[in-house]
Amino acid sequence: MRKLTLGTAFAAMVLAAVIAPTAHTKEPVKQYTVEDFFTHPVYNGVIISPTGKYFAIKSTEGINDAIFVYDREEKKVVSKFAFGEYQRFSNIRWVNNERLIFTGRKFVGYLDERGSPPSLYAANADGSNRRELIRWGSSGWTFLSSLPNEEDYILIGKLYGGEDGMFAHKLDVNDGRTYYLDDQPKDPGRLLADNTGTLRASFNYEEDEDDEFGKGTFILNYKPYGSDEWKKYHMEQFDEGGTLSFIGFSGDNRYAYVAADFETKTRALYEFDTKTEEFEQIYVNPIADVSNIIYGSDDNPIAVESMPGAIERHYFADSNDVTLRKSLTDAFNGENVYVTSTTDKGDLAVVHVSSDINPGQYYIFNLDTLEAKFIASPYPTVDPNDMASVQPITVTARDGLQLHGYLTIPKNYNQDRDGALPTIVNVHGGPHGPRDTWGFSPENQFFANRGYAVLQINFRGSGGYGDEFEEAGYRKWGREMQNDVTDATLWAIEQGYADSDRICIYGGSYGGYASLMGVIREPDLYQCSVGYVGVYSLPVMKSSGDIPRSRSGRKYLDHVLGTDEEVLKANSPAENVDKIKVPLYIVHGTEDVRVPMEQYKALTEALEKEGIPYQSMLKAEGHGYQIEENRYELYESLEAFFNKHIGAE
């Protein structure tokens, strides 16, 4: 990254003049269409080339992604890349002034992935020399470095079938040939390269079959600072379990930055000195894991982010880079501002701006003229002035555990004037690892635009709040995890936000499970329930779908669900439908492999056996609908279902 220089107060003053602060109107809020919220974004990634001549723009067209290369000098699109149905692109990078690489794979269902394994592609800006460089077949691969001093090569790690660990190779981005590096660590695991592209470290996690899940051994092989010899370091801190992930190196390549939780409840940021083998904690948020690190122009970290509620950014020290980031944030009215890419000279930067009401905007920022110019927005018809605010909330569960979540309140709502609202309790999927986050949600904004409050809670078992919080949900499906959702709903009623007579519970995947278990466990709390590609039988989950196909998947399910068949049945919606007494809407994809049709059939056959009516929708889709027409139909039908049973006025 090149240095970005900017006058302090002057920068904020100039940018503030370019982008006026958002003013909240008091006029009636415009009602948006399903197309406004659920049409796939035309612009969902903008990367500038090293010289600044081109933009690489990621777009979604129906069920396919595309990449456009836009010539900024000629002001026209010069090439386009699209590879067929359900093809999704990611990790777009310029490897030199005229050539870019990107990952492509087939996705079927937005909540899981199915189809082809990932392939790495490359093409010239003008569209010539398009080729698949490497695919995940008999050997897997991962990107390690762009090799800044070798513009025709990148560094990748390859995992060969039948062998343990990855091995580093140079890959020619023009013809796809690979070259094995002689200098490899012993017992290679996850390979790490420093800022120069030099292979410097390998994290290896070993778990024997008789090891308790997550209680294996961490081994670090690394090259000490200033040395070319590999050294082995046993990371004893993690022998009793824990999480570690590599983030990057310092500008001088002496320090490696990792996120770990071997001595904290949440994942903290650590600095590992590759010269002295010392771990030093740099920052920890006592509530939430470190989620992002921001680097400055010298490739040293200048800030770290976490999300206990809204996004919190902690700066380490004053510098020109810190001044720049703070000035940009101030100029964009306090919204989240991220630099997606810069030119080699550091004179131009693409910045992405977003918030809870702003679905995202891309700007090109000129550091010489101090001008910010709008490029595009992924949701061009959505006016942030009309959107609903997302309020972080804290709820104390019945056993004293602190829970965090979000309440989306319709625009122009006044509690004193309007009273309690019809409410949709939107339960996230996963459940272990994923979490609800603060930001713009098309789904929640659609519901709020129709007059509903939307309640989200990160129940125990959710990710993002430390391993202890996540593990507190293991083997608690339908019990303590469900209690957390109930307690959050009762909180919303007690606080005067939710109308106790107009509440519906809704969710996808695990959220579909919780939506059905909610009306089974609390038959008088909710007035309706919607299960979207949901799990309805825990015994079926142990035997069908893509998770139990592997030994590690089966071991994981045993760990998080348990092995007692009677307990699994007792906490399965399909085994307890006789307790349901509210309207149901069951939505599924016939091509779903994460939560296959066996789950839908287990529930609906039980409902029919008991004579319990239900509404349903089936589409030839995977784990979540991707085809735009199906998405439109789904949300129009959800609107009608909610209006019928808890109708917003």
The model's pLDDT over 92-143, given as tens digits with 9 standing for 90+, comes to 999 999 999 999 887 665 445 455 678 899 999 999 999 999 988 767 888 9
* Rounded average pLDDT over 428-456: 96
Task: For residue 621, report the phi and psi dihedrals to the nearest 5 degrees.
Answer: -135, 175
Residue-wise pLDDT tens digits, 322-356:
888 888 888 888 899 999 999 998 889 999 999 99
| Residue 542: both structure tokens together | 């142990």
pLDDT band at 2 (very low <50, low <70, confident <90, very high): very low
Task: For residue 337, report the phi and psi dihedrals to the nearest 5 degrees.
Answer: -120, 125
Residue-wise pLDDT tens digits, 541-586:
888 777 777 777 888 888 888 889 999 999 999 999 999 999 999 9
- Tell me, what's the pLDDT at 369? 80
Q: Is the pLDDT of residue 12 over 50?
A: no
Of 323, 276, 332, 278, nearest to 303 by C-alpha is 323
Residues 312, 395: Cα–Cα separation, whole Å: 19
- Tell me, what's the pLDDT at 451? 95
Q: Is the pLDDT of residue 367 over 80?
A: no
Strands, E, within 559-614: which ranges? 584-589
Q: Is the pLDDT of residue 13 over 60?
A: no
Residues 407, 147: Cα–Cα separation, whole Å: 45
Residues 24, 385: Cα–Cα separation, whole Å: 6
Burial category of 137 from C-beta neighbours within 10 Å (exposed 0-12, middle 13-18, buried 19 and up): exposed
> Could you give the maximum distance between any two Cα atoms of the chain, in Å?
74
Q: Is the pLDDT of residue 76 over 50?
A: yes
| Residue 606: both structure tokens together | 């039980």
Q: 431: cis peptide before it, omega within 30°?
A: yes
pLDDT band at 213 (very low <50, low <70, confident <90, very high): low
pLDDT band at 9 (very low <50, low <70, confident <90, very high): very low
Contact 259, 288 (CB under 8 A): no
- Tell me, what's the pLDDT at 518? 97
Task: Count CB-CB contacts under 10 A for residue 540.
Answer: 20
Residue-wise pLDDT tens digits, 268-288:
999 999 999 888 999 999 999
- DSSP label at residue 107: -
Question: Model-level pTM?
Answer: 0.89
* Percentage of the chain modeled with pLDDT above 70: 90
Write out the DSSP string of 80-107: EE--STTEEEEEEEESSSSEEEEEEEE-
Q: Is the pLDDT of residue 614 over 70?
A: yes
Strands, E, within 62-198: which ranges? 64-71, 76-81, 87-94, 99-106, 119-124, 131-135, 139-145, 153-160, 167-172, 178-180, 190-193
15 Cβ contact partners less than 8 Å away, ≥ 6 residues apart = 327, 328, 330, 331, 332, 370, 372
Q: Is the pLDDT of residue 8 over 90?
A: no
Burial category of 593 from C-beta neighbours within 10 Å (exposed 0-12, middle 13-18, buried 19 and up): buried
Q: Which amino acid is residue 380, in one-letter code?
A: P
* Rounded average pLDDT over 71-78: 94
Residue-wise pLDDT tens digits, 503-512:
999 999 999 9
Residues 482, 459: Cα–Cα separation, whole Å: 8
What's the mean pLDDT when you consider all of the chain?
88
pLDDT band at 262 (very low <50, low <70, confident <90, very high): confident
Q: Is the pLDDT of residue 297 over 80?
A: no
Q: Flag the least confident range among 23-32, 419-428, 500-509.
A: 23-32
Residues 312, 231: Cα–Cα separation, whole Å: 37
Q: What end-to-end distance do the CA atoms of the chain give, in Å?
A: 52
Task: For residue 118, report the phi and psi dihedrals to the nearest 5 degrees.
Answer: -70, 145
- Tell me, what's the pLDDT at 108? 61
Residues 526, 529: Cα–Cα separation, whole Å: 7
Of 117, 84, 62, 114, nearest to 623 by C-alpha is 114
Q: Is the pLDDT of residue 434 over 60?
A: yes
- DSSP label at residue 308: S
* Rounded average pLDDT over 184-212: 79
Contact 469, 431 (CB under 8 A): no
Residue-wise pLDDT tens digits, 475-500:
999 999 999 999 999 999 999 999 99
Q: Is the pLDDT of residue 459 over 60?
A: yes
